[in-house]
Amino acid sequence: MPVLMRDFDSIDIRLLIVFRAVVFTGSLSKAARKLSVTPSAVSQSLSKLSKYFSHPLFTRTSNGLEPTDFAMELYGYVNSALDLLQDGVESLSDFDPANSKRRFRISANHILDLIILHPLARHIESFNSQLKVSVNNLVEEESKIIDSLQIDNNDLCLVAMKIDMKSIIQEKVLDEEMVVLGCKSNPLTKEVIDMDTFLAQRHCRYAVGQIGYKMGNAMNMGYVDEREVFLDTNNPFNAMMMTQGTDSLVTISRWLWEKYASQFELAEIQTSFEIPTVPLYLTYLKKMEDSKANRWLRDQVKQTLASLR
The whole-number pLDDT of residue 35 equals 92
The whole-number pLDDT of residue 156 equals 94
- Compute the average pLDDT of residues 63-82: 90
Q: How high is the mean pLDDT of the chain?
A: 85
Burial of 291 (0-12, 13-18, 19+ CB in 10 A): buried
pLDDT band of 161, cuts 50, 70, 90: confident
The whole-number pLDDT of residue 109 equals 75
The whole-number pLDDT of residue 229 equals 83
Q: What confidence tens digit (pLDDT) does each residue in 9-54 have? A: 778 899 999 999 999 999 999 999 999 999 999 999 999 999 999 8
Instruction: Output the pTM of the full model.
Output: 0.74
The whole-number pLDDT of residue 214 equals 47
pLDDT band of 116, cuts 50, 70, 90: confident
The whole-number pLDDT of residue 175 equals 87
The whole-number pLDDT of residue 204 equals 87
pLDDT band of 309, cuts 50, 70, 90: low
The whole-number pLDDT of residue 281 equals 92
Least confident window among 57-61, 91-95, 129-133: 91-95
Whether 222 has a pLDDT exceeding 50, the answer reads no
- Compute the average pLDDT of residues 189-217: 74
Higher-confidence residue of 162 and 114: namely 162
pLDDT band of 217, cuts 50, 70, 90: very low
- Compute the average pLDDT of residues 249-273: 91
- Compute the average pLDDT of residues 183-200: 93
Rounded Cα–Cα distance for residues 209 and 226 (Å): 15
The whole-number pLDDT of residue 279 equals 85
Whether 242 has a pLDDT exceeding 50, the answer reads yes
The whole-number pLDDT of residue 140 equals 79
pLDDT band of 68, cuts 50, 70, 90: very high
- Nearest CA-CA partner of 71 in 4, 25, 34, 20: 20
**Percent of the chain surpassing pLDDT 70:** 87
Over the Cα atoms of the chain, what is R_g?
A: 24
Rounded Cα–Cα distance for residues 278 and 215 (Å): 7
Higher-confidence residue of 276 and 148: namely 148
pLDDT band of 236, cuts 50, 70, 90: confident
The whole-number pLDDT of residue 300 equals 94
- Nearest CA-CA partner of 180 in 170, 189, 172, 190: 189
Mind listing the domains of the chain with CATH numbers?
Answer: 5-92 (1.10.10.10), 103-174+281-308 (3.40.190.10), 178-276 (3.40.190.10)
